[in-house]
Amino acid sequence: MRQLLKCLALFFLTAGSFCLHAQSAKPRLVEYLPNYKGLAWSSYASSINFTKMTHMNLAFGNPPKCSGVCTAASDMTFSIKGQTDADVDAAITAAHAAGVKVVLSIGGGGGDQLILQFYNAGLSQQLTDSLDRYVQAHKIDGIDVDIEDPSNMGAPFLTFVNTLVAKFRPQGKLITAAVAQYLQGSMPSAALHQFDFINVMVYSSLAASNTALQYYLNECHVPKDQIVLGVPFFGSTAGDDKEEDYKTIFGAYPNAWRVDLAGGGLLDDGKAFHYASEETMKQETLLGRQYGGIMVWEMMGDAPAPHSLLSVILNNL
């Protein structure tokens, strides 16, 4: 009998250890759904490939710009520009049906001014209460903080993050962030370590991706499985003065999937675009798999089969 109990104990210990390992080893696949492509999400929802996707980030939800100085009486109602409530709900319903968590990304390049105008005015609580009403109305699973203005990421930013955590974490909602090395010197460490995981924006090369992941692991001391590598479904010029979707680049240069640089043709007067080829995307996916997974900016930028970058990710994640 004693031997049987010992065997059972060993079995459950081993099984439990396996389950924990299996759960922690599963990489995330976070994909951003943008609002600026002129396409209603209700129409697009049925074409989304949810295979292996774990999180769909709606980009971006923001309040209006204040008329003059922001006060507690200012309009803080959140919305996603260009999408109706029905459009938003259609995308969320499709994601939830596939078992995917839906996260509202707030701020964004330029849009971050609509967030920081309130927290810089000491209105973090009021803004968070308004955000909570939007989250509850649309059954959203979490918030992704995307502030990309290093001059506005000090103590008021920390207060805002703390307020978000106090409001949403007891509800079981996720609090994540889009981060980058060039921003990190301005973000309080106490804010960085509040997030459930971070999406690292590094879209230039495999070497830069490795450097950024090592930075967050070794210098910022973020747990490895909480660091998600961002990869691009777009290309940019050397001076970052122009961007094009990967599908647009591929349409202009049919062999673009082979290399990381294309140009000299009719697209944008022959400008050369740097992007991730299929082989580079494979290597970046394998790198992200060693950490917390892969984040895609953004899902509408992919090329069609047989040269879909998402297919490369799915085959290697």
Residue 169 in contact with residue 137, Cβ under 8 Å? no
Residue 186 in contact with residue 153, Cβ under 8 Å? yes
Rounded to two decimals, the pTM is 0.91
d(CA 76, CA 82): 17
Number of domains in the chain: 1
Residue 287 in contact with residue 213, Cβ under 8 Å? yes
d(CA 266, CA 273): 13
Q: What's the domain range around 67? A: 26-201
pLDDT digits (tens, 9 = 90+) for 145-197: 999 999 999 999 999 999 999 999 999 999 999 999 999 999 999 999 999 99
Would residue 54 count as lying in a domain?
Answer: yes
What average pLDDT does range 6-24 have in this prediction?
A: 38
Confidence of residue 262 (pLDDT cuts 50, 70, 90): very high
Would residue 140 count as lying in a domain?
Answer: yes
Would residue 262 count as lying in a domain?
Answer: no
Give, to the nearest 10 degrees, the angle between helix 278-289 and helix 206-214.
Answer: 10
Identify the H or E element spanning 56.
strand 55-62
Confidence of residue 7 (pLDDT cuts 50, 70, 90): very low
Residue 56 in contact with residue 97, Cβ under 8 Å? no
What average pLDDT does range 231-247 have in this prediction?
A: 96
CA 251 from chain centre, in angstroms, equals: 26
> What percentage of the chain exceeds 70 in pLDDT?
92
What average pLDDT does range 251-273 have in this prediction?
A: 97
What is the residue-averaged pLDDT of the chain?
93
Would residue 11 count as lying in a domain?
Answer: no
Residue 168 in contact with residue 195, Cβ under 8 Å? no
CATH code for the domain in which residue 184 is found: 3.20.20.80
Would residue 251 count as lying in a domain?
Answer: no
Cross-strand pairs, 312: none
- Residues in CB range of 157: below 8 A, 6 or more apart: 116, 119, 147, 187, 188, 191
Strand 28-34 to strand 55-62: parallel, antiparallel, or no bridges (unpaired)?
parallel
pLDDT digits (tens, 9 = 90+) for 42-63: 999 999 999 999 999 999 999 9
Confidence of residue 25 (pLDDT cuts 50, 70, 90): low
Would residue 150 count as lying in a domain?
Answer: yes
Would residue 12 count as lying in a domain?
Answer: no
- The amino acid present at 169, given as its one-letter code, is R
Would residue 274 count as lying in a domain?
Answer: no
- The amino acid present at 90, given as its one-letter code, is A
Give, to the nearest 10 degrees, the angle between helix 309-316 and helix 278-289.
Answer: 40
